[in-house]
Structure 1
Amino acid sequence: MAVETQHLKVALIPGTGRMGSALARNLALANISVFVGSRNLQKGLKTAHNLLEIYPNARIQGGTNHEAAAWADTIFWSPSGSLKEREALLQSLAPHFENKVIIDVSNVMYFFDESQWGQTSSVLLNQKALGVPAKWTTAFKSTFYKLLEVPPNPKDPHCTFVAGDDEEAVHRTAALVEAIPGFKAVRAGGLVNSKIIELLGPRWLFELDELNAGGKYRSGWKYVW
């Protein structure tokens, strides 16, 4: 199933954090139309403006999370904050999320005791909390954000697991992953497998983030093709 990514309208919610802004830049460089969302209007506008100053031909704009969600047909979901804060933001955006493809790149397992790991996942919690139907998928769950700042050599790609229950949404997610040079999408079955995928990036990812600030660490799985 071929997906023409240049025709998609992709929102980053939010797109002003480390992961969101890195994805926004790479997707824009791949000639994909991008909307940088933020809780703060000025922050969203500034992030988009800063990217446009560097890449003036990019199709990128900024604004609030609600504006981004209303505009997009595909959403990268990467919120920060407590579980309650994430859930409140998600529910406030529900009218704009209904029936859209939502790519969950967040990971909440570090909020839970280790005994609960593998029992649920952020995408399964989000799917339940949203309250309206949407086409949820996962990607970049265990990708260190610095790897998106300087993408890997396409001849030696970094792999990211893509899981989802809707076939069209999975194909779209895989196409967006592979629109970024140096990344390879690996099909990982249905959303239930997100319970396993998120075990690749609990609390230790944040510890490694601090220990490897120089960007030498490559988180996630590496395959030989």
Structure 2
Amino acid sequence: MEVEPTQLKVALIPGTGRIGSRLARRLALANVSVFIGSRSPQKGLQGAHDILASCPHGRVQGGSNQEAAAWGDTIFWNPSGSLEEREELLQSLASHLENKVIIDVTNVMYFFDESQWGQTSSVLLNQKALGVPARWTTAFKATFYKFFDDLPDPNDPQCTFVAGDDEEAIQRTVALVEVIPGFKAIKAGGLANSKIIELLGPRWLFELDTLNAGGNYRSGWKYVW
């Protein structure tokens, strides 16, 4: 069954960082209903106000992370801080997140010792730490945040890997990725593949940016179809 993104209630936790704020704006411009969460309710409200200033007809709200988790049926998960701080936030929201679709857009491989690379991922750790069932997927894990400022050419889209174990959750994630002009979702199999996907960035992307073209290089994954 085809998923209509404009019928979803999409919360961003948080929606005020580099990726979250840009995702929220692009989704709002695509007429997706959005709630911007933050540790500070005032900051969440300000994030919504900032988007509405340039997208006055957008369906955007803002408030606390708890309000965002309770409101949304689909969650973009992108907190900052240590692994322990992220786990604590996740567990504080567990009662609101049960059975929801959670799209993990974080990349925290730099928190792991290299001997663990490919053995686990933040997504798998989050899934275990949450303590209640939820339908986890991945997206935008190797996407440099500046791509959301200057969108890729829709005829030559930026690809992002979508992994998950629940088909409806995958379809919902694909629909939300592709509602943003210039992005293409590539199905990447089960959630266990997040162990591989997280190795693709973003630290490596910053290194490539430094090594190539005086900082003007921005890597992306291209497929021919």
The answer, yes or no, to whether TM exceeds 0.5 is yes
Q: Is the 8 A contact 1:139 1:162 kept in 2?
A: yes
Over the matched positions of the two proteins, sequence identity in percent amounts to 78
* AA of the residue aligned to 1:165: D
Q: Is the 8 A contact 2:205 2:218 kept in 1?
A: no
Question: How far, CA to CA, are the matches of 1:83 and 1:204 in structure 2?
Answer: 20
Question: How far, CA to CA, are the matches of 1:96 and 1:215 in structure 2?
Answer: 42
Q: Is the 8 A contact 1:146 1:215 kept in 2?
A: no
Moved over 3 A (4+): 205-212, 214-217
**Unmatched segments (≥5 aa) in structure 1:** none
Q: Is the 8 A contact 1:110 1:202 kept in 2?
A: no
Q: Is the 8 A contact 2:104 2:136 kept in 1?
A: yes
Does 1:198 find its partner at 2:209? no
Question: How far, CA to CA, are the matches of 2:184 and 2:172 in structure 1?
Answer: 13
Alignment of 1:89-104 (within 5 A): 89-104=89-104
* AA of the residue aligned to 2:54: I
**Unmatched segments (≥5 aa) in structure 2:** none
Alignment of 1:57-206 (within 5 A): 57-201=57-201, 203-206=203-206
Deviations 1:130-155 (A, max 9, x none): 00000000000100000011111111
Deviations 1:51-92 (A, max 9, x none): 101110011010000000000000000010001100000000
Q: Is the 8 A contact 1:45 1:61 kept in 2?
A: yes
Q: What is the number of residues matched between the two proteins?
A: 224
Please provide the CA RMSD for this pair: 1.7
Against the structure 1 CA distance between its residues 19 and 215, is the aligned structure 2 distance closer, same or farther, given a 3 Å change threshold?
A: farther
Question: How far, CA to CA, are the matches of 1:47 and 1:217 in structure 2?
Answer: 29
Deviation at 1:31, TM superposition (A): 0.6
Match of 2:53 in 1: 53
Question: How far, CA to CA, are the matches of 1:175 and 1:199 in structure 2?
Answer: 24
Deviation at 1:191, TM superposition (A): 0.2
Q: Taking structure 2 as the reference length, what is the TM-score of the superposition? A: 0.95
